[in-house]
Amino acid sequence: MDVDRLDPELVHAFRSYEVADVSDVLNRMFTMSPEIRNLTNDKPVVGPALTVKLFPGDNLMLHKALDVARPGDIVVVDTSNSQRNAVLGDLIANKAVHREIAGFIIDGLIRDIDGIVETGIPVYARGITAFGPLHRGPGELNYPVCCGGVVVDPGDIVTADRTGITIVRKDSAESTLLRLVAQKARMAEYVANVKRGIFSNSWVDDQLAADGCVFE
């Protein structure tokens, strides 16, 4: 059940970039549904994915994930498309803090929001309900899951902030980081000029012309 984690320094390097920039260099392919958002605070999180697949309405395997997670892990939860029962509350959140889990990405619902907020742990989810979970199983740990429309493998890099969530495949993390570095350098002067009011929109006309749209 252990995760094949990347070099922590490589993972940490992604903290220097906004999630929108990561999404751009990945051609918008691995960004989750905006319906999954941070419901607890504005803390951005970056870390390796520990994946959990739950039986609909159940969270037994999420409790077990606390024993498997390592400090800095982000727990990514596939609820089997269940949108009725909450699968995380303040008890799991408090336990997660003591296990030094970095955060949760949940394709489903949570409860006990005030208690979760008190812990300070970032929890991304679709919504809040008072309707609690069952604790019977079954489920899976550290197998590929689908969360927010994106397949997540154990050990993939999760990047999340208040703008959204993007997944970086672990087998392409190094090349993705190189592209981010290059893009940041390429865009720095352009962004600075735009802020000063120095810019041209000629590229818009070029694209419109290529699309066969001509303004008289």
Q: Are 48 and 6 in contact (CB under 8 A)?
A: yes
pLDDT of residue 1: 63
| Spatial CA neighbour of 65 closest among 55, 77, 56, 57 | 77
Helices and strands, counts by H and E, the chain:
7, 13
Give per-residue pLDDT as tens, 2-56.
778 899 999 999 999 999 999 999 999 999 999 999 999 999 999 999 999 999 9
pTM for the model: 0.92
Letter string b/e over residues 184-201, b meaning 16 or more CB atoms within 10 A of that residue's CB: eeeeeeeeeeeeeeeeee
Give per-residue pLDDT as tens, 56-115.
999 999 999 999 999 999 999 999 999 999 999 999 999 999 999 999 999 999 999 999
Give per-residue pLDDT as tens, 163-215.
999 999 999 999 999 999 999 988 888 888 899 999 888 888 889 889 989 77
| Spatial CA neighbour of 39 closest among 165, 146, 150 | 165
Q: Which two tokens stand for residue 164?
A: 């959204």
Structural domains in the chain? 8-171 (3.50.30.40), 178-210 (no CATH)
